[in-house]
């Protein structure tokens, strides 16, 4: 089997430690690189632990229901509608969820899906039931977009949960993007898989990653059926990264109701882990193609986000923004062990 390109190098340093009477302290930093994703990171030897539950009340005070465009009072007045050629009613509706154009779009096709009229849902209450309609309405929208035959090839469902992750509103909502071209990161994943297939006779990159990770048992959190859950070798966030892969699913439209139910069950376990460990925020993306692409399996990533007290210091700094390397004081293999317990409940 062709190598999947995970490399690691140790750097050792030493300083005189003020917290230990200026005795010498050796530090070992792991520089990691993942050829598939192109993510370089540095895994630090000291563990990040968030000492207390985040103060979500402060966000709720600044962003009350009475001012929220996604709450029932202002929803009809302040949320955009589609033109009638897309959907006659102006918005897509599924159960309690609505999907409509983003008023401040990142893309010609950027939409927002609100899960329900509930203004704030804490991380531990993001159950499969609480998320079902929101993901289902995104699915309905992608089916309609495919029906319209406008040449879109790539789609994603994305989530900034709470302000530390870039979420502009407390009210939980997803965003979708469809495009004729992949985003820069998806282009990277596609190119990696295509290059891997070209260089290896039996090469499907995703199949081999999952086989090797399952055998290694270091970052393989669980298989819940069709979906395999891993922690990333070289994470995209300071608190690590959790990945999910839909085995052998080569288009968004391969996903069944049961696959979505499995996804939401797994996500709720990850979110419970985050809640228990005092995180308050995350980014999530699910990436897919809209036509079958044998070199790309539907997959996604979750990156926990946080602020550091007492100053509300950001978890992004110059290393990530300007050097394209992630500083990560969470060891991926340790994160995996901790998450495994939540998948055994």
Three-state secondary structure call for residue 244: strand
Give the nearest distance from C-beta 170 to Zn ion in angstroms.
Answer: 7
Piece in contact with Zn ion (CB under 5 A), picked from 62-70, 74-82, 143-151, 215-223: 62-70
* Cβ nearer to Zn ion, comparing 68 with 242: 68
Q: For residue 46, with 0-12 CB atoms within 10 Å meaning exposed, 13-18 middle and 19 or more buried, which class applies? A: exposed
* Cβ nearer to Zn ion, comparing 102 with 194: 102
3-class SS shares of the chain: helix, strand, coil, % to 5: 35, 25, 40
The contact mask relative to Zn ion for 12-51 (x = CB under 5 A, - = no) is: ----------------------------------------
**Cα 137 to Cα 131, 217, 227, 279, distances in angstroms:** 10, 36, 21, 27
* Cβ nearer to Zn ion, comparing 171 with 236: 171
Give the nearest distance from C-beta 89 to Zn ion in angstroms.
Answer: 21
Place of tokens 């690189």: 33
* Cβ nearer to Zn ion, comparing 139 with 171: 171
Give the nearest distance from C-beta 57 to Zn ion in angstroms.
Answer: 15
Which has the closest alpha carbon to 209: 182, 245, 173, 236? 245
Which has the closest alpha carbon to 111: 100, 123, 97, 122? 100
Which has the closest alpha carbon to 283: 125, 186, 166, 202? 166
* Cβ nearer to Zn ion, comparing 71 with 330: 71
Binders of Zn ion: how many residues, by CB under 5 A? Answer: 5
* Cβ nearer to Zn ion, comparing 32 with 119: 119
Residues in the chain: 345
Piece in contact with Zn ion (CB under 5 A), picked from 60-68, 103-111, 207-215, 277-285: 60-68
Give the nearest distance from C-beta 120 to Zn ion in angstroms.
Answer: 7
Residue 210 contacts Zn ion per CB under 5 A: no
The residue whose Cβ lies closest to Zn ion is 68
Residue 57: phi and psi, rounded to 5, are -60, -35
Residue 119 contacts Zn ion per CB under 5 A: yes
* Cβ nearer to Zn ion, comparing 159 with 233: 159
Three-state secondary structure call for residue 341: helix
Give the nearest distance from C-beta 233 to Zn ion in angstroms.
Answer: 38
Residue 131 contacts Zn ion per CB under 5 A: no
DSSP state of 252: G
Piece in contact with Zn ion (CB under 5 A), picked from 2-10, 68-76, 174-182, 327-335: 68-76
Piece in contact with Zn ion (CB under 5 A), picked from 35-43, 114-122, 249-257, 278-286: 114-122
* Cβ nearer to Zn ion, comparing 75 with 343: 75
Between 332-342 and 257-276, two packed helices, what is the crossing angle to 10 degrees? 110
Q: For residue 258, with 0-12 CB atoms within 10 Å meaning exposed, 13-18 middle and 19 or more buried, which class applies? A: exposed
* Cβ nearer to Zn ion, comparing 67 with 108: 67
Residue 68 contacts Zn ion per CB under 5 A: yes
> Which residues from 143-172 bind Zn ion, rule CB under 5 A?
171
> Which residues from 166-205 bind Zn ion, rule CB under 5 A?
171
In which element (H, E) is residue 112 found?
Answer: strand 111-114
Taking CA 240 as the corner, what is the angle to CA 6 and CA 231, rounded to the nearest 5 degrees? Answer: 55
Determine the distance from the C-alpha atom of residue 240 to the mean position of all C-alpha atoms in its chain, rounded to a whole number: 11
List of residues 6+ apart from 345 with CB closer than 8 A: 269
Residue 70 contacts Zn ion per CB under 5 A: yes
What the block records as the tokens of 327 is: 């500083």
Please report, as ranges, the residues that interact with Zn ion according to CB under 5 A: 68, 70-71, 119, 171
């Amino acid at each position: 089997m062709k190598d999947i390109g995970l490399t690691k190098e140790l750097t050792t340093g030493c300083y005189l430690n003020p917290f230990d009477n200026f005795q010498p302290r050796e530090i070992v930093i792991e520089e990691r690189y993942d050829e598939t994703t192109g993510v370089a990171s540095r895994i630090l030897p000291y563990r990040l632990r968030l000492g207390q539950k985040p103060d979500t009340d402060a966000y709720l005070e600044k962003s009350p229901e009475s001012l929220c465009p996604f709450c029932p009072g202002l929803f009809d007045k302040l949320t955009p509608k589609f033109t009638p050629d897309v959907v006659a009613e102006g918005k897509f509706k599924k159960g309690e969820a609505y999907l409509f154009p983003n008023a401040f779009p990142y893309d010609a096709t950027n939409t927002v899906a609100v899960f329900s009229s509930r203004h704030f849902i804490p991380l531990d209450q993001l159950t499969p039931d609480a998320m079902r309609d929101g993901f289902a309405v995104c699915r309905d929208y992608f089916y309609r977009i495919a029906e319209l035959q406008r040449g879109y090839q790539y789609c994603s469902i994305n989530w900034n949960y709470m302000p530390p992750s870039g979420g502009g509103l407390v009210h939980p909502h997803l965003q979708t993007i469809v495009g004729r071209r992949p985003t820069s990161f998806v282009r990277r994943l596609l190119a990696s898989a295509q290059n891997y297939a070209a260089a290896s006779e039996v090469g499907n990159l995703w199949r081999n990653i999952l086989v090797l990770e399952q055998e290694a048992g270091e970052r393989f959190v669980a298989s819940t059926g069709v979906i395999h859950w891993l922690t990333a070798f070289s994470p995209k966030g300071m608190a690590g990264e959790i990945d999910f892969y839909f085995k052998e699913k080569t288009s968004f439209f391969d996903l069944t109701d049961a696959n979505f139910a499995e996804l939401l069950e797994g996500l709720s376990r990850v979110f419970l882990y985050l809640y228990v460990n005092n995180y308050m925020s995350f980014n999530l993306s699910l990436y897919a193609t809209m036509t079958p692409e044998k070199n790309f399996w539907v997959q996604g990533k979750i990156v926990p986000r946080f602020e550091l007290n007492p100053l509300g210091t950001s978890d992004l700094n110059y290393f990530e923004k300007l050097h394209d390397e992630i500083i990560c004081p969470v060891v991926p293999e340790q994160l995996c062990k901790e998450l495994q317990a939540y998948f055994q409940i």
